[in-house]
Structure 1
Amino acid sequence: MGKEANGMSRSRFEMFSSSDEAVINKKLPKELLLRIFSFLDVVTLCRCAQVSRYWNVLALDGSNWQRIDLFDFQRDIEGRVVENISKRCGGFLRKLSLRGCLGVGDSALRTFAQNCRNIELLSLNGCTKITDATCTSLSKFCPKLKHLDLASCTSITNLSLKALSEGCLLLEQLNISWCEQVTKDGIQALVHCCPSLKGLFLKGCTQLEDEALKHIGGHCPDLVTLNLQTCSQITDEGLITICRGCRRLQSLCVSGCANITDAILSALGQNCPRLRYARQPPPAKPARTSVTANCHELEKMDLEECVQITDATLIQLSIHCPRLQVLSLSHCELITDDGIRHLGSGPCAHDCLEVVELDNCPLITDASLEHLKTCHSLDRIELYDCQQITRAGIKRLRTHLPNIKVHAYFAPVTPPLSMGGGRQRFCRCCVLL
């Protein structure tokens, strides 16, 4: 019986693998098999290539290698692997992610650029060996490039941006976060020649000043996303230019920009009605009504550590922002149950609101949880260090929203002085309810 079973198993294996005359190869035309293979990931394609000579040819056909992401496959690849991929894929390759591939350098990417001239999306995030030479190669051979991720490629300088501006005129999205050598000169060269830019990620580019923002505002009318986190030298002057010139802006991050004041909030409200995500630094005064009143498409608002925010802002959000999905009010110590009451009765509460963060809001009580129980889309609520929230209040909320994720701290009461005159210390307990 065992031999018979083994024979049947071997027979099936031969039918589907070892013989190029297998039934599946006879019944399905090459074009259909190629179509099936086009849905497979890198690992599966490599396995199929080992089945038979015929499947090897089909699996390694360039048409199946239009999108390659090596991040989850192998991160310690050497440059020769990239060169081999480029020779195999040639003009078919459209998207390639080499994120985190530390062994890939300029030489391999030059070969890649020469062979894969139709590349549209390329991620080199964390490829720390590459220099300006890679961008020179991309500029020379890859005119169709639209998305380029160079985050954490710390050797990149203004020369890279100038090269891209000369040969990659279709560029729509560029990430040069943590490329700290980039200055306003590189930004100026880039935006003057790449008018189609829709996304700029400049996080950690600490040398950028207002002059760079003025170039962006003057030449990027289609800009949708701008990340300036920790660009510590920029001020209201540069950001106001962005608001006036980039009226299609939907996402703006200026967290860690300590020189920004409330003036930018008014400029956003007046000029950027499509704003969906705003992450701001703590303001000096509560002047957010212009943003909430005019940005009706706002989906995510991060007000963490904006200690002057009051219930007035929540009233405006509840009235004017029907699409609000995520709201962070952590460390907004003036927020009360009344503000949450207005939020819970607003148009966003019933269909859109998914996340509310109320960490370290000392005036919030169980009454706020009662106001939020009608928010049927609410998926998560953060209540760390909300000392007036009780387990009973959370339990009542769960009866209405059984699937909600609640994160809360419940600190044990500090005991009285011990007999020895010392005071015992207890750690707070993090509870997922």
Structure 2
Amino acid sequence: MELPFEVLIYLFKYLPKPDRKSASETCRSWYLAANAHCFLKNKVVVLYKSILSDEESSPLKIFENSPIIYSNYYFNEVEISNKLNEFWDRAGENIKCLTFKNCDICEKVFVYILQKCPTLESLNIESCKDLFMSGRLLEGRSDGLLVNNLDNLRSLSLSGNQYLTDALFSRFVKAAPVLQHLNFSGCSLQFHLGLVKKFYPSCTNIFENPSESVLTFYFVLQFIISHANYIKSLQFSNTLIDGAALKTLSEVENLKLNTLEVHFCDQLTNTGILALTTHQASLKELDIGLCSRVTDQSLVHICNNLVNLEYFNMQRCRAVTDLGIVELYKLKKLKSLNISQCELITNNGLEKGICAEENSTLEDLDLNSLNLDQTGVIMISEKLPNLRSLDLSYCVHAVTDTSIQVIFKNQILLHTLRISHCDEVSDAGLTGMGKLQTEVDDDAPIMSNYDEAQTHNKIHLGSRAEEEIVRDAKRKRDVMRMCEKLSMDSYTGYSLARLKGLRVLDISGCNRITDVSLTYAFTFKELVNLNLSKCQQITHEGIGHLVRNCPSIEYFNLTDCFNLKDDAVKEIVRGLRRLQQLELRGCNQLTDKTLEAVRSHCKGLKFLDVQGCRYISPELVCAIGSLPTLHTVLMSKPGPYITDGVKNRSPAPTFLPALMRKLRLH
């Protein structure tokens, strides 16, 4: 008996996206349920490095003939030609969001696309230099009539286009009278007043005669002034916007922004930030990351005035100290905070700031590369119980077996955890096997510390590196014995396995992690993204257990895990049916058997990196490039190969030209 359609939709709402996608392949009724409108409106069709044509084998034909109507399309590094006109004729009226990134598209085809998409709400044209190079796009009355139907356009992104001018921008906005979101990130936006005087003499109507040579902040500002009641979101990241320009923008009458991104704007000063906090108190999202001139003064005003802030990014604002960070406790609605790479922030600032009291609102916290110790991590874990995403990468002295145990105890809602290059973490911390149950108080957090006093009393005649190898081997053996002796329910340590909803895990560079952790601490049914790069002690034994207990992995990074052999890759490609990206760079024991296994079992692989795998032949790499789903293969440059310790200087093999578009040589 089949379940009713409404019941299927209700059940699918509880599934994560990868599971819902797999469920849709079961039967037609499940396929239709997984593509109901409540799910479909957020789905994006991504066409990356695909060959698009009017032939039946073209990927677009699949969506053109599909009974499911898709509204969002993302074209990345593809050629858009007039051969696709039939697709726009049939699907254009249903498209709501359209993105072109690094695409080869001519002006005539682009205008035709706009004509066929009358309900378009979001248009993103990123780094398509050929489209803007001539400066003639949308020029003339006839072309203007073609795009006058963009009345529904709410969001326009023209980021990364160095040839954008005032005239080109003017032609776009004339066709879209109710724009709310504008993105100029990475554009050559000019702020010098001398250019304004040169191209716009006094008493000149700038909207009638916009410059065809430069893109000026002055022209953009005049547009914002004339549409202040509509504009809600602005992005000027990676431009030369300075304090004076931001001050002028913030003071625009009737402008009430919800989002402002000025990421990597090195000219931005406190003057602009102070004006922003005074006049734009409605802001909910603010990104001032990599703005090196921002200081504590700006942060104090942000915390005092922008009380509605929910997302705040101040990554690598290196002038910010604890004096500014302590003010963060005033942002009661803050859900996402990025204070990574701010080298002057310490435990004291966090203790008086976000950890001043228990905070159940904050969900996303990035502390990458901060100078913290383990007491700071323990404090964060105890004060922020509802974290969903936590990044502690490069907090070398803060993430230890002791502090990681407290995270596993308190942050059971985490779906993203990054502790990259925290090399003090070992198997003891991840498995929770530091001490036996009889050795600790039941109410106290379990700290996975080893009593290594007995080894300290011995005189070691080898080098310090050799002594560390011996100590690691003993640690691995002891933890393995504990794991074999005790079941998961019979010890009081806190294992990584407690984070049942984990989807993204990055423990790259944690070289004390071994097969013991992969065997006893990795049981995640929803884990999609796993980074084990530079975990050089793992072998095919641990990989086998990992694959069986984490079947949903799609993105797997094993870079520089040089103890892995072909058997490990065979386990991966046989067990991970959803695998899309596999990085094996530097795994120099792999041979052609690895590629044969990939070719036999990976039906959905899109990205493969085998750089530095010296025993893998370039001929076979070229052959595997013919897999239909594979769009990128990274391999080392062909050159002298080593055979039996002797360099073979025979000519490099001949590559098939049709496959070279998929191969990147490094």
TM-score bracket for this pair, using the shorter chain length: 0.7 to 0.9
Question: Is residue 2:341 matched to residue 1:251?
Answer: no
For residues 48 and 386 of structure 1, what CA distance do their matches in structure 2 show?
Answer: 48
Q: State the AA in 1 paired with 2:256.
A: L
Are 1:360 and 1:384, in contact at CA under 8 Å, matched by a contact in 2?
yes
Q: Which residue of 2 aligns with 1:282?
A: 370
Moved more, 201-210 or 384-393: 384-393
Question: Is residue 2:294 matched to residue 1:208?
Answer: yes
1:284, distance to aligned residue in structure 2 (A): 3.9
1:232, distance to aligned residue in structure 2 (A): 1.3
Are 2:242 and 2:269, in contact at CA under 8 Å, matched by a contact in 1?
no
Against the structure 1 CA distance between its residues 112 and 409, is the aligned structure 2 distance closer, same or farther, given a 3 Å change threshold? closer
For residues 82 and 294 of structure 1, what CA distance do their matches in structure 2 show?
Answer: 55
1:61, distance to aligned residue in structure 2 (A): 8.2
Q: Which residue of 1 aligns with 2:304?
A: 218
Q: State the AA in 2 paired with 1:303.
A: L
Cα deviation, 1:128-152, whole Å, max 9, x if unaligned, reads: 1344314421431121111111111
Cα deviation, 1:387-433, whole Å, max 9, x if unaligned, reads: 332222112222333443352533379xxxxxxxxxxxxx9527789
Question: Is residue 2:189 matched to residue 1:126?
Answer: no
Q: State the AA in 2 paired with 1:297.
A: N
Against the structure 1 CA distance between its residues 193 and 394, is the aligned structure 2 distance closer, same or farther, given a 3 Å change threshold? same
Identity %: 24
Question: Is residue 2:404 matched to residue 1:314?
Answer: yes
Q: Which residue of 1 aligns with 2:629?
A: none
For residues 275 and 297 of structure 2, what CA distance do their matches in structure 1 show?
Answer: 13
Are 2:312 and 2:338, in contact at CA under 8 Å, matched by a contact in 1?
yes
For residues 92 and 360 of structure 1, what CA distance do their matches in structure 2 show?
Answer: 48
Cα deviation, 1:242-298, whole Å, max 9, x if unaligned, reads: x12212222222222211111233222335432222222332422122221232221
Matched residue of 2:390: which SS? strand
Aligned residues between the structures: 379
1:344, distance to aligned residue in structure 2 (A): 7.1
Q: Which residue of 1 aligns with 2:360?
A: 273
Are 2:241 and 2:268, in contact at CA under 8 Å, matched by a contact in 1?
no
For residues 126 and 561 of structure 2, what CA distance do their matches in structure 1 show?
Answer: 40
Against the structure 1 CA distance between its residues 170 and 371, is the aligned structure 2 distance closer, same or farther, given a 3 Å change threshold? farther
For residues 563 and 496 of structure 2, what CA distance do their matches in structure 1 show?
Answer: 36
Q: 1:330 aligns with which of 420, 423, 445?
A: 420
1:214, distance to aligned residue in structure 2 (A): 1.0
Are 1:132 and 1:156, in contact at CA under 8 Å, matched by a contact in 2?
no
Moved more, 161-170 or 277-286: 161-170
For residues 362 and 102 of structure 1, what CA distance do their matches in structure 2 show?
Answer: 43
Q: How does 1:352-431 map to 2 (within 5 A)?
A: 352-404=501-553, 405=556, 407-411=558-562, 428-429=586-587
Question: Is residue 2:224 matched to residue 1:139?
Answer: yes
1:101, distance to aligned residue in structure 2 (A): 1.9
Q: State the AA in 1 paired with 2:515.
A: D
Q: Which residue of 2 aligns with 1:240?
A: 326
For residues 400 and 346 of structure 1, what CA distance do their matches in structure 2 show?
Answer: 13
List alignment gaps of at least 5 residues for structure 1: 1-32, 51-55, 414-426
Moved more, 103-112 or 210-219: 103-112
Cα deviation, 1:153-196, whole Å, max 9, x if unaligned, reads: 22554323422332363211111112222111111111211112
Q: Which residue of 1 aligns with 2:115?
A: 60
Q: State the AA in 1 paired with 2:587.
A: C
Against the structure 1 CA distance between its residues 398 and 112, is the aligned structure 2 distance closer, same or farther, given a 3 Å change threshold? closer
Against the structure 1 CA distance between its residues 397 and 214, is the aligned structure 2 distance closer, same or farther, given a 3 Å change threshold? same
1:90, distance to aligned residue in structure 2 (A): 6.7
Q: How does 1:145-184 map to 2 (within 5 A)?
A: 145-167=231-253, 169-184=255-270
Are 1:109 and 1:134, in contact at CA under 8 Å, matched by a contact in 2?
no
Q: Which residue of 2 aligns with 1:11?
A: none
Question: Is residue 2:391 matched to residue 1:299?
Answer: no
Moved more, 269-278 or 192-201: 269-278
1:41, distance to aligned residue in structure 2 (A): 6.4
Q: 2:125 aligns with which of 70, 86, 89?
A: 70
Q: How does 1:12-27 map to 2 (within 5 A)?
A: none
Are 1:71 and 1:97, in contact at CA under 8 Å, matched by a contact in 2?
yes
Against the structure 1 CA distance between its residues 166 and 118, is the aligned structure 2 distance closer, same or farther, given a 3 Å change threshold? same
Q: Which residue of 1 aligns with 2:195?
A: none
1:107, distance to aligned residue in structure 2 (A): 4.7
Are 1:94 and 1:120, in contact at CA under 8 Å, matched by a contact in 2?
yes
For residues 297 and 186 of structure 1, what CA distance do their matches in structure 2 show?
Answer: 34
Matched residue of 1:378: which SS? coil
Against the structure 1 CA distance between its residues 344 and 393, is the aligned structure 2 distance closer, same or farther, given a 3 Å change threshold? farther
Q: Which residue of 2 aligns with 1:37?
A: 93
Are 1:329 and 1:358, in contact at CA under 8 Å, matched by a contact in 2?
yes
Against the structure 1 CA distance between its residues 240 and 387, is the aligned structure 2 distance closer, same or farther, given a 3 Å change threshold? same
For residues 113 and 297 of structure 1, what CA distance do their matches in structure 2 show?
Answer: 42
Q: State the AA in 2 paired with 1:162.
A: T
Q: State the AA in 2 paired with 1:204.
A: L
Aligned CA RMSD, in angstroms, stands at: 3.6
For residues 41 and 285 of structure 1, what CA distance do their matches in structure 2 show?
Answer: 45
Against the structure 1 CA distance between its residues 388 and 377, is the aligned structure 2 distance closer, same or farther, given a 3 Å change threshold? same
Against the structure 1 CA distance between its residues 305 and 255, is the aligned structure 2 distance closer, same or farther, given a 3 Å change threshold? same
Against the structure 1 CA distance between its residues 156 and 48, is the aligned structure 2 distance closer, same or farther, given a 3 Å change threshold? closer
Q: Which residue of 2 aligns with 1:419?
A: none
Are 1:113 and 1:137, in contact at CA under 8 Å, matched by a contact in 2?
no
Q: Which residue of 1 aligns with 2:193?
A: none
For residues 40 and 252 of structure 1, what CA distance do their matches in structure 2 show?
Answer: 31
For residues 587 and 543 of structure 2, what CA distance do their matches in structure 1 show?
Answer: 16
Choose between structure 1 and 2 for higher RCO, CA contacts under 8 A separated by at least 6 residues.
1
For residues 91 and 586 of structure 2, what CA distance do their matches in structure 1 show?
Answer: 56
TM-score by length of 1: 0.76
